[in-house]
Structure 1
């Protein structure tokens, strides 16, 4: 006899850990999604009926470059890598985590996916079909305003990243990237205000800032000697984020919202 307390599963891929579930997200959980900020409990309850829960394990692909699926996803828990193909390999563009949207461009313009998104950790996402997004979700105020704010914020961050890549030396670019990771994804742990758990290798950091692994290693070792950060099993503990911020212009720092830890 099936266990009635467990969510029923719509689909499970035998080749990986992905599955979709009919289990609804709680209204409290949906309220934490920036896209749904300001929605009434009635609207959130209605949305929970069209949103599918999807779970992934590390290395599962959520989106694949050049695919034509146009569903929209929002991350409820976990972290993903964003990569694009380059020759026989891939290039890491960035990371995304809780609260962020994925696939919104394809949902809006119907074009193919521009990148591959792969689970870096165990993840839970909510998914919306393009049809439900436009017919059910988009007409609800203030969804259009929230989406505009999210896209504007993303454009500002991308502009700052392009500026950093074009104007800073390797030291400044790496400092900018680590501050971005720390403020976006770092969590307090013991005496460490920003602990980045993603398990990024130095080679991946090098890809993100356009340099070599050797240069990243040299800079990280130097910063470790000065007590700015430490590394352990590819995790990064940032002890002095202020020291890293001094390595690039204040105008670029302003593009990275400060974390709650920095206001304590």
Structure 2
């Protein structure tokens, strides 16, 4: 077994952090390991599979395709993350498609082994609960945004989310590689042309700049204020 298909690969999975080497060895032997090229479907919506997946390396996209072919993107998964726990917990079909964005190594753990892991390792069970709670909050916020905000404000909110995920330093954030206009449109349920129009407006206002393959947010605090004003929430502590 190669290093990235052993306990060494699982050491970087955040859900499993702190488990003993012996326990990780047991899990690695129980996992099914896959090496996938970019653009390869890993899971399909409505499949009755119930494995949990660990992203050892690479990048994946969680998305769905409507009957008319329109894509709606939920989130991207990065190295060290896990996914698929909903189907493992309730035994129901998958709720979304998952496709690789870059060449990826994925380890999957069957439902029986995953539920046993939750029973045997309370710290892992707690992390799963926290992850699901965060997912509910994220989806609730997204439903509110889609229901109450116009396209302009949804673009602002999505850029702020991406900036916070990338890390805000000195009131700036660097998104590299920059998300495409089509990707942003899929995230906020609109079309590419509307996203292009709003990004151009932000560039004219000096809030965005293009640097090579990166998109730079030049005034994060201003964007925070713009988003919070339309959401009607109290203004948070300024980013430091």
Q: TM-score scaled by structure 1?
A: 0.75
Among candidates 196, 200, 203, match of residue 224 of structure 1: 203
Match of 1:156 in 2: 137
CA spacing shift, 1:253–1:97, aligned 2, 3 Å: farther
Name which of 244, 254, 258 aligns with 2:223: 244
Q: How does 1:72-111 map to 2 (within 5 A)?
A: 72-98=52-78, 99-111=80-92
User: 2-side partners of 1:252 and 1:151: how far apart?
Assistant: 24
Q: Deviations over 1:20-42 (max 9, x none)?
A: x983041xx53443322343444
The answer to whether residue 137 in structure 2 is matched with residue 196 in structure 1 is no
More helix by share: 2
Q: Does 1:24 align with 2:3?
A: no
- CA-atom RMSD in angstroms: 3.2
Q: Is the contact made by 1:72 and 1:101 (CA closer than 8 Å) also made in structure 2? A: yes
Q: Give the 3 Å change call, closer, same or farther, for CA 163–30 of structure 1 in structure 2.
A: same
CA distance in 1, matches of 2:5, 2:57: 15
- Kindly indicate whether residue 166 of structure 2 is the aligned counterpart of residue 177 of structure 1: no
1:115-146 Cα offsets, whole Å, 9 max, x none, are 11111122222211112212345422312111
TM-score normalised by length of structure 2:
0.81
Does the 8 Å contact 2:210/2:216 carry over to 1?
yes
Partner of 2:125: 144
In the comparison of the two structures, how many residue pairs are matched? 234
Tell me, in whole angstroms, the C-alpha distance in 2 between the residues paired with 1:76 and 1:220: 34
Contact 1:58 1:121 in 2 (8 A): yes
Q: Which runs of 5+ in 2 are unaligned?
A: none
Give the drift of 1:241: 2.5
1:204 to 1:34, Cα distance in 2 relative to 1, 3 A: same
Instruction: Give CA-to-partner distance per residue, 1:193-236, whole Å, 9 cap, x none.
Output: 32232x64323322321323222111101112233223478853
Report SS of the residue matched to 1:236.
strand
Residues 1:240 and 1:144: Cα distance change in structure 2 (over 3 Å): same
Q: Does structure 1 residue 165 correspond to structure 2 residue 146?
A: yes
